[in-house]
Amino acid sequence: MNPRGNPAPLAEARHRHSLDKRARVLTVLATLEKQGQPLTFAAVARAARVSTWLTYAPGVREHIEAAQLRQAHTTPRSATGSSPSPLSLRTELEIARQEIKDLRDERDRLQAALRHQLGQQLDAIHASDSATRADELTALNQDLTRQLQEASSENATSRARITTLEEDLTAARTSLRRMIRDENLR
Q: What is the pLDDT of residues 12-33, one digit of tens each?
A: 999 999 999 999 999 999 999 9
Report DSSP state, residue 76: -
Q: What is the pLDDT of residue 30?
A: 94
- Arithmetic mean of pLDDT over the chain: 88
Residue 119 pLDDT exceeds 90: no
Residue 82 pLDDT exceeds 70: no
Q: What is the pLDDT of residue 43?
A: 92
Quote the CA–CA distance of 168 and 45 in Å, as a whole number: 111
Q: Name the pLDDT band for 72 (thresholds 50, 70, 90).
A: confident
Quote the CA–CA distance of 61 and 68 in Å, as a whole number: 11
HEC readout, 108-120: HHHHHHHHHHHHH
Q: What is the pLDDT of residue 42?
A: 92
Q: What is the pLDDT of residue 81?
A: 55
Q: What is the pLDDT of residue 3?
A: 56
Q: What is the pLDDT of residues 120-161, one digit of tens each?
A: 888 777 777 777 888 889 999 999 999 999 999 999 999 999
Q: What is the pLDDT of residues 39-67, one digit of tens each?
A: 999 999 999 999 999 999 999 999 999 99
Residue 80 pLDDT exceeds 70: no
Q: What is the pLDDT of residue 148?
A: 94
**CB neighbourhood size of 114 (10 A):** 10
Q: What is the pLDDT of residue 54?
A: 92
Report DSSP state, residue 84: P
Q: What is the pLDDT of residue 97?
A: 93
Q: Name the pLDDT band for 75 (thresholds 50, 70, 90).
A: low
Q: What is the pLDDT of residue 121?
A: 84
153 exposed, middle or buried (CB, 10 Å; 0-12, 13-18, 19+)? exposed
